[in-house]
Every structure is written in structure tokens, then in C-alpha cells.
């Protein structure tokens, strides 16, 4: 399944120096493939899973991912960047933490309250009496 975001998007958000700060675990000045796969890739998968959880009540994750929705990609990116920094044991700057927290809050609103996502095309609920903006199934926390 295609992810919402790529490692290049994470690198662009962090800038080259921030990306190296997050992923260069051996501090040799270069992000090697094994470092990217142990730091950046898991952060992308983790963030994608959180976005999937929020949209699952309305459409299948594959359908959401295939739409390349900018709003969902931004939420995913905000979460992945912080996860990557934390995985590497790095300090997360306040502005990135704030964006992360905002994105988590908005995804919870999508999941729990039916927050409408700009440009996201929702599938019609299979039961014609059920609104596509009400969760069909709710995850228990």
C-alpha cells in the first residue's frame, strides 16, 4: 500500500540539516539507507497508520491514500517529523511539536466528530440510512 508521504517530503519539511539531525544515528554527517529505513520509514508508517485510523470510518485507507489529499498529507507529515526526531532520541523543537499536536487533534476530530476534510472524496455508506459523516465503527481507546 502506498504511503501518504515520502522520505523526501520529510526531508523537505525538516530541511537537509534537520533531516540529518533526525536520521544520522552514527553522527558521521551522512544519512545512510539503513539509517533512513530505521528512522524515517517507521515514522512514515506510524503517521500513516494514525491517518488511516481517522479515515477508516468513512472510507478504506487505500481509497484515502490514493486521493493524494494535501490536508491528510500535511497531517501525516506533521506527525512523522516528530516521530522521526523522537525515534532518534533528538529534542523536538516547539514549533514542530505544536504542529504535531494540532494534527493529532484534527485527526481525532475527523475520527470522532466527522470533521470535513477539504478535497477528500468520501465513499457513500453502504446503508442508505447512515450518513457518511458518522463513524460506522468506532475504535475504543
Average pLDDT, the chain: 87
- Tell me what the mean pLDDT of segment 112-120 comes to: 92
Cα–Cα distance measured from residue 129 to residue 93, given in angstroms and rounded to the nearest whole number: 46
> For 24-33, how does the pLDDT look when each residue is reduced to its tens digit (9 = 90+)?
888 888 888 8
> pTM to 2 decimals?
0.82
Residue 132, sorted as left (phi over 0), alpha (psi -120 to 50) or beta, turns out to be alpha
Tell me, what's the pLDDT at 35?
87
Q: What is the pLDDT of residue 41?
A: 93
Phi, psi of 24 (to 5 degrees): -80, 80
Q: Integer distance in angstroms from the first to the last C-alpha of the chain?
A: 25
Query: What's the confidence (pLDDT) of residue 125?
Result: 47
Residue 3 makes CB contacts below 8 A (sequence gap 6+) with 44, 45, 48, 65, 76
Residue 126 pLDDT grade (very low, low, confident, very high; cuts 50, 70, 90): low
**Angle subtended by helix axes 94-113 and 41-55, to nearest 10:** 30
Residue-wise DSSP of 53-102: HHHTTTS-HHHHHHTT-HHHHHHHHHHHHHHHHHHTTPPPPHHHHHHHHH
Residue 34 has pLDDT above 90, yes or no: no
Closest CA to 3 of 77, 109, 86, 114: 77
Angle between helices 70-87 and 41-55 (to 10 degrees): 140
pLDDT at 129 over 60: no
Contact 48, 117 (CB under 8 A): no
Model pLDDT for residues 80-109, shown as the tens digit of each residue: 999 999 987 788 999 999 999 999 999 999
pLDDT in tens, 48-68: 999 999 999 899 999 999 999
Amino acid at each position: 500500500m502506498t504511503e501518504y508521504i515520502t522520505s523526501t517530503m520529510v526531508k523537505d519539511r525538516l530541511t537537509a540539516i534537520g533531516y540529518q539531525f533526525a536520521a544520522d544515528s552514527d553522527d558521521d554527517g551522512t544519512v545512510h539507507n539503513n539509517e533512513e529505513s530505521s528512522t524515517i520509514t517507521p515514522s512514515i508508517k506510524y503517521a500513516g497508520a494514525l491517518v488511516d485510523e481517522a479515515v477508516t470510518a468513512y472510507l478504506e485507507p487505500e481509497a484515502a491514500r490514493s486521493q493524494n489529499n494535501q490536508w491528510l498529507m500535511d497531517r501525516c507529515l506533521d506527525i512523522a517529523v516528530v516521530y522521526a526526531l523522537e525515534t532518534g532520541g533528538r529534542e523536538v523543537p516547539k514549533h514542530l511539536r505544536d504542529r504535531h499536536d494540532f494534527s493529532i487533534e484534527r485527526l481525532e476530530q475527523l475520527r470522532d466528530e466527522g470533521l470535513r476534510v477539504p478535497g477528500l472524496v468520501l465513499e457513500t455508506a453502504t446503508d442508505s440510512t447512515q450518513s457518511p459523516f458518522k463513524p460506522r465503527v468506532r475504535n475504543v481507546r
